[in-house]
Amino acid sequence: MPSLQTHHTFHLPAQCQYIHHFSSSDTFLDLWHGSATNYLLGGGSNTLFLEDFEGQVFINTLKGISYRETKNSHIIKVASGENWHELVTRFLAEGWHGLENLALIPGSVGAAPIQNIGAYGVEAGNFIAAVEYRDIQTGETNERMGSECLFGYRDSIFKSALAGHILITHVTFELPKKYQPITTYGDLAKLTDPSANEIYNTVINIRRSKLPDPDTLGNAGSFFKNPVLLASHYQDLKNEFGAVPGFSAGNGVKVPAAWFIDQCGFKGKTIGGVRCHPDQPLVLTNANNASGDDVISMAQLIMQTVNERYAVPLEPEVRLVGSAGAITL
């Protein structure tokens, strides 16, 4: 059985029946229908295989980038198997600005609309004009405009109604020709009239200083989503616990999950081979030959403790995969 250890960034020693690398959607569809239990994988940065997977894994290597322009915008259509950070870097070199806040996020382009990846005040959905996909059952090619993708915080229609039914083949980005830097988040606010390159470099430096490199310390980035609370709940927490960080998010308040985890004393805590990172408690790491059970134990303990103390349910951002497919905690 082939190993999945190098195909997901937490690097648990899981195996599967077979691994297919596909570079055309027709090949993918033919192979997919030849197996009863399948899992579609991109860069593996947001997937964690908890145990051996009793099926076949399909790894997306679709490639290609095409460009056109309008009077006010750059329009770039990108194949879903392209590397995300390499794409952001190329856009910057071409003078196509807007995605620089999302530099160094691991994974593939196809994952961007599914997760509506975001960082430092920007979400990918802000710049996605369209998503092209194949229906896995019928093979039909469809395109959904960005406004139809139901983008939300780490959410989209590709995680709900269309989940498991499609293969995203291309993502089309629309970037404004007039540069509009976003510097409202964290250390970016310290920059004065920055260029896109300055934002790009600053984001990379921040991420490298705060987040462990998965090539040297296995991890899947932010393990939990930042919860969005009702304003009344947030005020109750402030009344009881004093200063609680929060950021306006639509009709609610987004509170960093790392704050709750830190306040509950998990920073640096170890269960089996899993460690809650001592500098960034939102990140769980494969510190010493961790097992899937170690990951589940740590995640469930964090979720239970935070909910009991603050009445805040945390939700994993990472996709957890068991023997038969995706699971929930």
pLDDT tens, residue by residue, 26-69:
999 999 988 789 999 988 999 999 999 999 999 999 999 999 99
- Buried/exposed code over 132-151 (b: 16+ C-beta within 10 A; e: otherwise): bbbebeeeeeeebebeebbb
CATH number for the domain that contains residue 226: 3.90.78.10
Same domain, 39 and 117: no
Conformational region of residue 41, where left means phi above 0, alpha means psi within -120 to 50, and beta covers everything else: beta
Residues 6+ positions from 224 with CB-CB distance below 8 Å? 257, 261, 282, 302, 303, 314, 315, 316, 317
- CA–CA distance, 1 with 14 (Å, rounded to integer): 10
Same domain, 220 and 202: no
Closest CA to 312 of 239, 242, 224, 247: 224
Same domain, 231 and 161: no
Q: Last residue of a domain, which of 170, 189, 207?
A: 207
- CA–CA distance, 44 with 116 (Å, rounded to integer): 16
Same domain, 188 and 315: no
Q: Last residue of a domain, which of 175, 192, 207?
A: 207
Active site residues: 154, 222, 317
Same domain, 27 and 72: no
Structural domains of the chain, count: 3
Q: Last residue of a domain, which of 152, 178, 207?
A: 207
Q: What is the mean pLDDT of residues 148-170?
A: 94
- CA–CA distance, 148 with 25 (Å, rounded to integer): 23
pLDDT tens, residue by residue, 96-148:
999 999 999 999 999 999 999 999 999 999 999 999 999 999 999 999 999 99
DSSP 45: S
Domain residues for the domain of 112 are: 65-207
Same domain, 157 and 233: no
What is the per-residue pLDDT for 211?
A: 86
Same domain, 70 and 203: yes
Same domain, 175 and 227: no
CATH number for the domain that contains residue 125: 3.30.465.10
Q: What predicted TM-score, i.e. pTM, was given to this entire model? A: 0.89
- CA–CA distance, 13 with 233 (Å, rounded to integer): 41
Q: What is the mean pLDDT of residues 146-167?
A: 94
pLDDT tens, residue by residue, 245-276:
998 888 899 999 999 999 999 999 999 999 99
CA trace torsion 118, 119, 121, 122 (10° rounding): -40
- CA–CA distance, 239 with 246 (Å, rounded to integer): 14
Amino acid identity at 85: H
Same domain, 52 and 170: no
Q: Are strands 128-135 and 141-145 parallel, antiparallel or unpaired?
A: antiparallel
The two structure tokens encoding residue 20: 């297919």
Same domain, 297 and 310: yes
Same domain, 160 and 252: no
The two structure tokens encoding residue 178: 């007039």
CATH number for the domain that contains residue 50: 3.30.43.10
